[in-house]
Structure 1
């Protein structure tokens, strides 16, 4: 059948199984939006308040569901407003397709009104990107974009479509989405046997699990391996949820704000089994800091092997397939002496800070754990509250923590929570924020209210940029340059202005009733949870220091 470019785009999105797209209209995408109007009963469009919110919502949708998130924006500033969200998805390997309009093909490269080279701008932060100059290539380009976004190590792909392409006509026929096969080419018996030898000879193995476990759907295989060899499991920030938070072998996050158990076990281990993880600088700064351990690495992306830490053995390939084939080659092991060390380190308690505060993050998360039992999707912004979430909330399942790990994007969490809630309306979705981060994209409360997405925002309000202030305290002799906010924003009144509910919590006795009311609310809720500006995130390791040098109090 003969369709115009906009109709080809929308029909191909439907063929790819897309049910929601997040976006903001403008001149260069008017033809697309005219078609969306005609297809509104089949494809839901969510109008955000800002294009960055659309990108974060698509990202949150993808993290919560495992499907490709889709966002759309017009040319020029609309396209550039997507950039931070695309970079966020790229750094955390999140499958996303971003669609941008552009000026008509004759005007490309002429500095036309609202023209930017968005393909050039996003080249370093996408797996691939396209500009479509022939309407006959549009359908295949979209299909390739979805395949690339999902295949191997997931990531964002951008499609730039000039306005005249959206109006031109071409033949179209419905096609099934390109099938993504697990990458198993290099998972050979020899390579598996080599890894198994390292594991079978180890007396003190530690599994270091990253976000690649979640991307590959390998949580069950990870659990089976850990239990068979009785190995402690530490996760990166992105790996949280890949292993049950209440499991006796789970030691928590590793690295700069990792638990004592995870960090100390890493320095005592004779074998670190890194799975779907990349040894970022926030995990371990140098091989010298874990010099007692051999390193084996399993990752779908060959570029991550030996990039930060040299591996003694590795396999490049699908993580789930690798673990399933590795498991029969691995011998059962009780590792009783090593497990004794695990119990010893887990029993270490951080010394109490000499300060006492009326409200603490720990009290909040204890209450959230009690009321949700891990059955909630938690998004975060970036800062102290993000680390308190990672340390204190018990994540039981994969795809329940939505957070910007690699890029550290303040303003990420609210958009992500909306994307997750619209994808999974029956789930409790909670965004943990700081007052600094929340202020960046608070306008997306309007999106949540209008789209009847009753997300819960809990602002750990300390009147400052808490993490930066913590660094200024510890490493800059308390010179608080431009980190004290105290803007006087009344977040309760702000919530009310948007049509949401607002609560302020200043005493412990208030919290449970407020949370219970929030969980029953049919509209978004903002909880202004007041904490002291000098409350810090511990444990902590100074940048560049060995992970065993743990700061646990001032």
Structure 2
């Protein structure tokens, strides 16, 4: 392990001073420049919390109302700041309550370090009070995990955890520390980890592959870039813009790639996916060279793989070699960090323009206009989700950080909000976790206090982590919350309508008074049911200095189109 010594605890005589494992943990976090923690105390992590009492001037701890809220908040913090999110939880149910967030972070490549307390080492395997084998439970949903039973091993475990979580394809790690190790005394010496013998996170791109990719792009008449979250994670936005502009290539974005390429850029053609924009989906099957960067061809993007991009030679750039060729046959695979690969690729690209190819996207956009008009400028009496997002986008000029939950509102927001700023779209992608948004938004606000952070949530997902209003209240986190309330589990209802003969089986919801609940948490709130008051309500929300909840009652049976039905190809996207 290649390291850099940065911290040692010594007494006034200069001799190494032994401290508890708990203090070693906290000093290690400080050495990693951690400033914010999200957590919930309990018996097995209590020694750490006792030590934390003395570090309140260096470590800001946010007390959540549920451990799932802690890990989603850490995800929001990491996604908006580019730093590693940190979570504290106790053993047993405290640790198992992190599993959903770990799975979400694993599939969405979010760097987290989760620290759980554990029963004393002599009790391991005895079914002691609040003992669970969190190491084996979390093994499939962590990038790495470790159980620490000695105070002397805490610092090295933390150093490795931060290195593994952030490097290569990021992901969550978990450190489980027994209670006796937290009490035990040991010398403290911390070294930043830069390298592990068995772990090579930064690949060197093959120069021949770079040259082959450039040749394909230069010879293409209809090249097309699919931009994924890898652009954001590697900080490759500038390099992507440079390559796209030089070679005249249209750029579409995956859900998690939104905000990686400016929506206002003339080469941006829209949002990919099952409920994405029409032209970027349909034209996937018309391109002759497809350049996928930092994305993994998940089923929500490809639809029926047998019908996907049949005319294209595929170039796939990804830092995770296992993703290359896994779903879509690849002509040229480039195992590399996106920023590094694009930097190498740029000098090989010829200055080119493809006006007819770009015009084909605009022609297809005309077919989608009727839907946009219906969604954003409806003539019906009830409010529509699209018009709410459209007005919010106009008011904020697409410059806010927007967090979404999972469902219809997520797809509408992804379609109608213009994500112009990097790291401004925070959403649960691969796992599709309802309840993600509210805690993720408060974590995002902690990670980017200078930015407006807006949570757009459905009435179903909001109630899964509604208790985090207590966290927002206690710390006065000025997040703006919009509930698009249709009294349904909207996405499931849409599928039941279209594919299950309108058999609405357990999807209609009898909701509480959300405004009254917000007021009980001392959060300013109001409810809007008419478009006559929508603009003013949105302005009231954005102008309010503290947290704010706005409930917007929308049409109960509104559907989200376009849509790629299950089993269909992306070119078979339904407009209605």
Which TM-score band applies after superposition, normalised by the shorter structure? over 0.9
Question: Is the CA contact (8 Å cut-off) linking 1:452 and 1:522 kept in structure 2?
Answer: no
Determine the C-alpha separation between the residues in 2 that align with 1:190 and 1:464: 53
Contact 1:195 1:296 in 2 (8 A): yes
**2:86 paired with 1:70:** yes
Which region of structure 1 is more displaced relative to structure 2, 201-210 or 174-183? 174-183
* Cα 1:479/1:541, change in 2 over 3 Å: same
1:110 aligns with 2:126: yes
Of 25, 41, 53, the match for 1:37: 53
1:363 corresponds to: 387
Question: What is the TM-score when the length of structure 2 is the normalising length?
Answer: 0.94
Give the counterpart of 2:548 among 525, 529, 541.
Answer: 525
Matched, 1:297 2:321: no
Length, aligned pairs only: 552
Alignment of 1:13-412 (within 5 A): 13-176=29-192, 178=194, 185-284=203-302, 285-352=304-371, 356-412=380-436
CA–CA distance in structure 1, aligned partners of residues 218 and 422 of structure 2: 28
In the alignment, is the contact (CA less than 8 A) between 1:350 and 1:539 conserved in 2?
no
Do the aligned residues in 1 keep the contact of 2:149 with 2:180 (CA within 8 Å)? no
Of residues 513, 534, 538, the one that matches 1:490 is: 513
Q: Aligned match of 1:510 in 512, 515, 533? A: 533
The alpha carbon displacement at 1:361 in A equals 1.5
Report the Cα distance in structure 2 between the residues aligned to 1:392 and 1:142, rounded to whole angstroms. 41
TM-fit CA distance, 1:345: 2.0
Give CA-to-partner distance per residue, 1:1-45, whole Å, 9 cap, x none.
Answer: 211100000000000010000000000011000000010011011
Unaligned runs of 5+ in 1: none
How far has the Cα of 1:177 moved from its partner? 5.5
Runs of 4+ in 1 over 4 A off after TM superposition: 179-184, 352-355
**Residue of structure 2 in register with 1:471 after alignment:** 495
Cα distance between partner residues in 1 of 2:91 and 2:195: 31
Structure 2, unaligned runs of 5 or more? 1-16
Name the Cα RMSD after superposition: 1.6
Structure 1 residue 520: Cα displacement: 2.6
Return 113-122 or 518-527, whichever deviates more.
Answer: 518-527
- Between the aligned partners of 2:193 and 2:442, the Cα distance in structure 1 is 26
> Residues of 2 paired with 1:501 and 1:403: CA distance?
25
Report SS of the residue matched to 2:357: helix
8 Å Cα contact 1:449-1:523 kept in structure 2: no
Deviation at 1:525, TM superposition (A): 1.0
Question: Which residue among 486, 494, 502 is the counterpart of 1:462?
Answer: 486
Q: CA deviation at 1:356?
A: 2.5
User: Cα–Cα, structure 1 residues 198 and 16, in superposed 2: closer, same or farther, change >3 Å?
Assistant: same
Question: Over residues 441-482 of structure 1, what are the superposed CA-to-partner deviations in whole Å (9 max), with x where a residue is unaligned?
Answer: 011011011111011110110001000000000100100000
Is 2:455 aligned against 1:437?
no
1:351 touches 1:552 (CA, 8 Å); kept in 2?
no
Comparing 506-515 with 467-476, greater Cα deviation is found at 506-515
In the alignment, the residues of structure 2 paired with residue 73 and residue 387 of structure 1 have an alpha-carbon distance, to the nearest angstrom, of 33
> In the TM superposition, what whole-angstrom CA distance separates every residue of 1:251-282 from its partner, at most 9, and x where no partner exists?
11112112111012111100110000000000
Does the CA contact (< 8 Å) of 2:156 and 2:191 recur in 1?
A: no
For 1:127 and 1:515, locate their aligned partners in 2 and report how far apart those are by CA, in whole Å: 41
Distance 1:160 1:183 in 2: 24
2: CA distance, partners of 1:339 / 1:42 = 52
Determine if contact 1:184/1:321 at 8 Å carries over to the other structure.
Answer: no
Question: Is the partner of 1:493 in helix, strand or coil?
Answer: helix
Distance in 2 of aligned mates of 1:50 and 1:7:
24
- Distance across 1 between alignment mates of 2:431 and 2:369: 29
Separation (CA, whole Å) in 2 of partners of 1:434 and 1:170: 49
In 2, are the aligned partners of 1:183 and 1:318 still within 8 Å (CA)? no
What SS is found at the alignment partner of 2:358?
helix
In structure 1, C-alpha distance between the alignment counterparts of 2:494 and 2:547, rounded to whole Å: 31
Alignment of 1:1-20 (within 5 A): 1-20=17-36
Q: Deviations over 1:328-360 (max 9, x none)?
A: 001111112212212222333344569824211
**Mean CA deviation greater in 361-370 or 100-109:** 361-370
Whether the aligned pair in 1 keeps the contact of 2:156 and 2:190 (CA below 8 Å) is no
Q: Distance in 2 between matches of 1:533 and 1:358?
A: 9
Between the aligned partners of 2:448 and 2:281, the Cα distance in structure 1 is: 35
Distance in 1 (CA, whole Å) between partners of 2:125 and 2:379 is: 60
